[in-house]
Chain A
């Protein structure tokens, strides 16, 4: 059967071997000329991405969960414009699928003016709401490259609105999932297929506008490439694409080779398996050797058979680009070449490499914990030679509200909130982290929006939105704060309201070099409230921060201490959800923090008096915020003495530690305690050199 579920193609994530033609062409390329060409390509895909963002309608299009990219005829990404860097590598598998299955298929074929739609996470890498269009580009009947436009459309007809169902039990609960299928022929959109797709989703408007936007984006790029091909010819063009990938790989290797060789380890935990509060573990052993990083995930929890915490391995790799391209490789181009020095060994049937039919809607949370784990091992690997790149982990990503229903204008809506784009970032070796800096997985484009624009479109009334007090990891330099919020259902009888994310039970953020982790995040629902009456009563004190909501309970009603994630449930007008995004991790011992900066943090609402007293050990006047420096010195010295008293030898610690074991009920999906070992692995990038030894 042509096509079919293709396990082989998705293993080809790293760049393909150059063709003979590419190799010959590359010999003639001068680096500076290539730099000019690279900029030209970036301008072209930039125009495509801009078109997609302008014309698309989903939340993803609003804040840049979009990409436009050029792929070689073998499907490797050569140039990307994106706000979310995992797209810089992700679109290549659908392109490879088209090349492998449809290029020479007599019934389908690949011709000028075609466009292929793909939303199957098995190939696209993440989850069903991520959808892409791949168009082949021909020059005088010769296929010269593919162009892709991708974005997170969201609503995709899953068992819950918004595209990321927390309660799904298999991929068949997770909405439409198309492997590459022809959606346009001869530059004309296939209305029958679009119509069919629209019959399967809750918000056909957004689906239609997004698909049209993606096609328009690839058309714009095609127009520009045709002009470029006229000038430089197809051979030079194709060699240049390969050169770009190759030179990026060389540059990445060069940077890696500056690090010391060594082995670095870290583990982190995910506290959410579908809607359940269960524990899963991600273990990474990073070996840095020469110009290569080998990442081994042996020891990670097994796949979750009936709950959505599972991942596709290429998603696990791709999410790490959101670290690399913002930090260690921030000055390198965005294409598949960046994968070259990164080699992965991911256990088969671990939850990072799960069977195809298992639910994966929640994969972003897993991807994120995986990125946090890798972030920490890289911090360890670079700290002695590239201090300027050391950065405590940001808040965990993706915590936000999710909702659906009929809005105040009578139109259907279903999406996830922009609140996820409000993470605090981690502290640095020389300064604090940044408050509410964006989504750490997409800092270049993500925005939490403005309350007025959200209330204009959604049946919401915000009670407050501010810097989330004590959400940061404390330290000599503290992490940036996250953002708190409370939202009441407003101007409609009711909607379905819930949350996405994780990190309500166990933090995925550790802090570094003595800096503290940032805390877990509550999500609270308040039913049957008296909010309406309170608003007109002069005496009633409305909460204006989450701490007031959590502690003060000024609003009367039924409080439910919920969590991230929490599946959407019906909530009536004036019923409230309250929560917040997290802060970044701290750097260094809080006892070394300048006490006057601690005062400033209190004044700015970043930390509480309790933190100042108990964590930073500052003696001060609570009204005037004046530090008693002498007394502070004494308090801090006392704390150091107490630490010494509490201290035990590593052997003693380990002995005690190994006796500990979490309660059985949260280990339901964990696998063998303390660590599961695997025999079978999927490899991405060659592991041969290393395994031989």
Chain B
């Protein structure tokens, strides 16, 4: 008997399960049990097992792998339920985390929340000032010790923290990533002075270990956030794992991380699981894209309140957020970049009196409670979903596959009330809502692609999430794009994405090297310096994979370098063509590769190698391939759409036709691979509604994915 693989993705509202066996799969959604994620987790497993006709016990016995994308860590930050920590830092720099690069007040907040500068505030600190001590020590930018550590000083300050009841220590000293000797000595002193029996499980977390990179504020925050969530994260996971063991699962649980991989829970640093869900979705899109020959993809997920975007260019997910905000905290946890704006089905439409009562949508959202007016749960403000109901796209009797009945009258009422103020009828108002939200999402996509130096028109949209396929044609128009892709697995796409992940670990280290020196016009010749960093990272990688039960021969290594021209501030990262350098030719190869990449991104005019070429950060990835699930393929049908796939005809509004027209409504599940549907049309699925606008054509491909193509050039 073939075994199962289980992929779980925890969202705000639902926990998604994507379970595979051979080329078959089942998708399961259960409500997220915030009070204890284990409960929803086991419920989802049970339901999935049932779909394969198995008992939970047999199912788990035959399960080879469980991949888990979780939000435990972020929840601890939101709920402020993390550990009581003390911070030990270099004397004179105790306020670093309060200075917070000044812009701390904006970190982690949407732009709209910080535009009124008179009302800004910095977040309440995770460690109060009284739990921060400065130690007399100093290391310089080259890693040279200027002020040696004084043991008595350390003992006195640690004693103060212990007396004040801290339950864990973060040690973050200036330049510790260049020379971690003092951080390590402090840890030794703490462990010597406060043996296990006294300390209990108080962790001592070193910034040089969690994130050996330049930038004392972001490094310290990375260590603090990690320490803060560490205990709860470990507790919840071990609880889940013992339940799984009790139920018969003896294999590992792999945690999905935010660099597009996964690893054993025991080898995973808590903070690296932050934002793993959209990253998994993005990886899923990349996998599907590579299978079907789409190298340039914008992955989108439109939910009730937010619109998430990720970009795949030239077949790879190459964009990182080097300083992502985790909750309200800027860190230096390199993770795959995804963006999010407040636009979704629940976004509220309003009139802006300052601009001739122009209609705007969001960022305020009705959320899921009370939700759009049509939910009839008390919401009175008109939302995007209400507009979709008024325009005839969403069937009030078949929302979420009929699980929720919508009240069209309420939608009409809310939208009518808004439109009346500017002399519009309900339909005009609804159309304007659609146009504004489509434009906003489309322009956000445009920005995400164009800001990275790519041409939006060369990309396709992956439309996921409940409202994604409903709006993707309009969004694509606004982003100058001509093709949308609706994966068959869209309802649980994050979990599907997890299924496509290999074991990947990332190791980073800052080291300033001048590969081409401006002052002397010479190439770098301290090859050992470069190579020793790569070796150091490779050793760490090898240790991890050995502990996971793999050998170095099974692994592939990839080296990325953050580079820039002399005096530039921002970095551009490249994949190094070589791991180690042996001579000047190798140095030149890396330099030339950087300039080529730079030119491609920013144009030939912008490149300036004469200014010097510098490396600042080394990033080594180790990858161990896991078996991939292959989606079953169907034969393409030529006979056209089955008559029973057409559920009904309904009045839907089409702007291009300047009014309502009888529109065919199709049932997604009844469509067959190869079926072509010309817009305007509506296709209803369990979890979404696909709107095929006038001028677009829909085709179901041999994997039951939907492909929307634009037919004609948009006229003015």
Residues of A whose CB lies within 8 Å of any CB of B are: 31-32, 34-36, 39-40, 43, 46-47, 50-51, 53-57, 61-62, 189, 203, 205-206, 208-209, 212-213, 215-216, 219-220, 224, 227, 231-233, 247, 250-251, 254-255, 326-327, 330-332, 388-389, 391, 409-411, 421-422, 425, 428, 431, 434-438, 443-453, 455-456, 461-467, 483, 490-491, 535-536, 538, 542-545, 603-605
Given the interface contacts A39-B439, A233-B716, does A411 sit within 8 Å of B519 by beta carbon?
A: yes
Which residue in chain A gives the minimum CB-CB distance to B449?
A: A47
Q: Would you call B13 an interface residue if the criterion is a C-beta within 8 Å of the partner chain's C-beta atoms?
A: no
Q: 6 closest Cβ contacts across the A-B interface?
A: A464-B92, A31-B358, A466-B95, A251-B354, A544-B92, A326-B117
Q: Would you call B217 an interface residue if the criterion is a C-beta within 8 Å of the partner chain's C-beta atoms?
A: yes
* Binary A-proximity of B116-153 (CB < 8 A = 1, otherwise 0): 11111110000011100010101011000011101000
Question: Which of B105, B218, B569 is close to A61, meaning CB atoms less than 8 Å apart?
Answer: B569
* Given A62-B569, A391-B118, A463-B92, 13 additional A-B pairs, CB 8 A: A39-B443, A47-B447, A57-B566, A57-B569, A327-B118, A438-B102, A443-B117, A450-B216, A451-B93, A452-B215, A466-B99, A535-B146, A542-B136
Question: Which of A326, A434, A447, A543 is close to B122, meaning CB atoms less than 8 Å apart?
Answer: A434
Interface locus among B1-9, B19-27, B408-416, B602-610 = B602-610
Which residue in chain A gives the minimum CB-CB distance to B432?
A: A32
Question: What are 10 A-B interface contacts by the 8 Å CB criterion?
Answer: A31-B356, A40-B443, A46-B447, A54-B602, A205-B608, A326-B118, A327-B117, A436-B98, A451-B93, A451-B174
Question: Which of B100, B174, B520, B611 is close to A208, meaning CB atoms less than 8 Å apart?
Answer: B611
What is the bound-complex CA distance between A232 and B105, given in angstroms? 40
Q: Would you call B357 an interface residue if the criterion is a C-beta within 8 Å of the partner chain's C-beta atoms?
A: yes
Q: Would you call B446 an interface residue if the criterion is a C-beta within 8 Å of the partner chain's C-beta atoms?
A: yes
Q: Would you call B175 an interface residue if the criterion is a C-beta within 8 Å of the partner chain's C-beta atoms?
A: yes
Question: Which of A46, A213, A247, A449 is close to B606, meaning CB atoms less than 8 Å apart?
Answer: A213
What is the bound-complex CA distance between A205 and B521, given in angstroms? 13
Residues of B within 8 A of A462 (CB): 92-93
Residues of B within 8 A of A327 (CB): 116-118
What is the bound-complex CA distance between A224 and B615, given in angstroms? 32
What is the bound-complex CA distance between A466 and B356, given in angstroms? 47
Interface locus among B313-321, B388-396, B510-518 = B510-518
Query: Could you tell me the distance in whole angstroms from the C-beta of A426 to the nearest C-beta in chain B?
Result: 9
The answer on a CB contact under 8 Å between A209 and B450 is: no
Q: Would you call B101 an interface residue if the criterion is a C-beta within 8 Å of the partner chain's C-beta atoms?
A: yes
Residues of B whose CB lies within 8 Å of any CB of A are: 91-96, 98-103, 105-106, 115-122, 128-130, 134, 136, 138, 140-141, 146-148, 150, 174-175, 214-218, 352-360, 432, 435-436, 439-440, 443, 446-447, 450-451, 480, 512, 514, 517-520, 565-570, 602-603, 605-606, 608, 611-612, 714, 716
Query: Could you tell me the distance in whole angstroms from the C-beta of A389 to the nearest C-beta in chain B?
Result: 6
The answer on a CB contact under 8 Å between A438 and B140 is: no
Which residue in chain A gives the minimum CB-CB distance to B360?
A: A35
Residues of A within 8 A of B141 (CB): 452, 455-456, 491
The answer on a CB contact under 8 Å between A438 and B216 is: no
Question: Which of B103, B117, B128, B129 is close to A447, meaning CB atoms less than 8 Å apart?
Answer: B103
Given the interface contacts A409-B519, A435-B122, A467-B99, does A456 sit within 8 Å of B359 by beta carbon?
A: no
Which residue in chain A gives the minimum CB-CB distance to B137?
A: A535
Which residue in chain A gives the minimum CB-CB distance to B567?
A: A57
Given the interface contacts A32-B432, A231-B714, does A57 sit within 8 Å of B214 by beta carbon?
A: no
Which residue in chain B gives the minimum CB-CB distance to A534?
A: B147
Residues of B within 8 A of A450 (CB): 101, 214-218
Residues of A within 8 A of B138 (CB): 461, 535
The answer on a CB contact under 8 Å between B355 and A35 is: yes
The answer on a CB contact under 8 Å between A55 and B606 is: yes
Which residue in chain A gives the minimum CB-CB distance to B572?
A: A54
The answer on a CB contact under 8 Å between A189 and B605 is: yes
Question: Which of A219, A411, A467 is close to B603, meaning CB atoms less than 8 Å apart?
Answer: A219
The answer on a CB contact under 8 Å between A411 and B99 is: no
Which residue in chain A gives the minimum CB-CB distance to B91?
A: A544
Query: Could you tell me the distance in whole angstroms from the C-beta of B153 to the nearest C-beta in chain A?
Result: 9
Which residue in chain B gives the minimum CB-CB distance to A206?
A: B567
Query: Could you tell me the distance in whole angstroms from the C-beta of B702 to the nearest C-beta in chain A?
Result: 34
The answer on a CB contact under 8 Å between B447 and A411 is: no
Question: Which of A39, A50, A431 is close to B451, meaning CB atoms less than 8 Å apart?
Answer: A50
The answer on a CB contact under 8 Å between A456 and B605 is: no
Which residue in chain A gives the minimum CB-CB distance to B176?
A: A452
Residues of A within 8 A of B94 (CB): 466, 544, 605
The answer on a CB contact under 8 Å between B99 and A436 is: yes
What is the bound-complex CA distance between A456 and B615, given in angstroms? 12
The answer on a CB contact under 8 Å between B359 and A452 is: no
Residues of B within 8 A of A53 (CB): 570
Residues of A within 8 A of B140 (CB): 455, 461, 490-491
Which residue in chain A gives the minimum CB-CB distance to B352?
A: A35
Query: Could you tell me the distance in whole angstroms from the C-beta of A231 to the nearest C-beta in chain B?
Result: 6
Query: Could you tell me the distance in whole angstroms from the C-beta of B144 to the nearest C-beta in chain A?
Result: 10
Given the interface contacts A209-B608, A450-B217, does A542 sit within 8 Å of B603 by beta carbon?
A: no
Which residue in chain B gives the minimum CB-CB distance to A49?
A: B451
What is the bound-complex CA distance between A391 and B517, given in angstroms? 49
The answer on a CB contact under 8 Å between B147 and A231 is: no
Residue among A39, A212, A227 with most chain B CB within 10 A? A39
Given the interface contacts A205-B611, A542-B91, does A35 sit within 8 Å of B129 by beta carbon?
A: no
Query: Could you tell me the distance in whole angstroms from the C-beta of B621 to the nearest C-beta in chain A?
Result: 24
Query: Could you tell me the distance in whole angstroms from the C-beta of B140 to the nearest C-beta in chain A?
Result: 7
What is the bound-complex CA distance between A411 and B614, given in angstroms? 14
Which residue in chain B gives the minimum CB-CB distance to A224?
A: B450
Which residue in chain A gives the minimum CB-CB distance to B213?
A: A452
The answer on a CB contact under 8 Å between B93 and A47 is: no
The answer on a CB contact under 8 Å between A47 and B567 is: no
Given the interface contacts A43-B443, A224-B450, A435-B122, does A57 sit within 8 Å of B101 by beta carbon?
A: no
Query: Could you tell me the distance in whole angstroms from the C-beta of A47 to the nearest C-beta in chain B?
Result: 5
The answer on a CB contact under 8 Å between B716 and A232 is: yes
What is the bound-complex CA distance between A538 and B154, given in angstroms? 13
Which residue in chain B gives the minimum CB-CB distance to A252?
A: B354
Given the interface contacts A57-B611, A224-B450, does A32 sit within 8 Å of B98 by beta carbon?
A: no
The answer on a CB contact under 8 Å between A466 and B569 is: no
Which residue in chain B gives the minimum CB-CB distance to A205?
A: B611
Given the interface contacts A326-B117, A435-B122, A451-B174, does A538 sit within 8 Å of B602 by beta carbon?
A: no
Query: Could you tell me the distance in whole angstroms from the C-beta of B112 to the nearest C-beta in chain A?
Result: 9
Query: Could you tell me the distance in whole angstroms from the C-beta of B452 to the nearest C-beta in chain A?
Result: 9
The answer on a CB contact under 8 Å between B129 and A34 is: no
Residues of A within 8 A of B608 (CB): 205, 208-209, 212
Question: Which of A455, A538, A542 is close to B92, meaning CB atoms less than 8 Å apart?
Answer: A542
Residues of A within 8 A of B602 (CB): 51, 54-55, 216
The answer on a CB contact under 8 Å between B102 and A57 is: no
What is the bound-complex CA distance between A250 and B136, given in angstroms? 59
The answer on a CB contact under 8 Å between A467 and B116 is: no
The answer on a CB contact under 8 Å between B355 and A31 is: yes
Query: Could you tell me the distance in whole angstroms from the C-beta of B262 to the nearest C-beta in chain A?
Result: 32
Query: Could you tell me the distance in whole angstroms from the C-beta of A293 to the nearest C-beta in chain B?
Result: 17
Residues of B within 8 A of A189 (CB): 605
The answer on a CB contact under 8 Å between A54 and B570 is: yes
The answer on a CB contact under 8 Å between B359 and A447 is: no
Query: Could you tell me the distance in whole angstroms from the C-beta of A555 to the nearest C-beta in chain B?
Result: 13
Which residue in chain A gives the minimum CB-CB distance to B134?
A: A544
Query: Could you tell me the distance in whole angstroms from the C-beta of A618 to the nearest C-beta in chain B?
Result: 18
Which residue in chain A gives the minimum CB-CB distance to B141?
A: A455
What is the bound-complex CA distance between A434 and B120, given in angstroms? 8
Given the interface contacts A189-B605, A331-B116, does A251 sit within 8 Å of B355 by beta carbon?
A: yes
Residue among A203, A438, A490 with most chain B CB within 10 A? A438
Question: Which of A32, A50, A388, A536 is close to B119, meaning CB atoms less than 8 Å apart?
Answer: A388
Residues of A within 8 A of B612 (CB): 205, 411
Query: Could you tell me the distance in whole angstroms from the C-beta of B596 to the nearest C-beta in chain A?
Result: 16
What is the bound-complex CA distance between A449 and B214, given in angstroms? 12
What is the bound-complex CA distance between A389 and B118, given in angstroms? 6
The answer on a CB contact under 8 Å between B436 and A216 is: no
The answer on a CB contact under 8 Å between A57 and B355 is: no
The answer on a CB contact under 8 Å between B147 and A536 is: yes
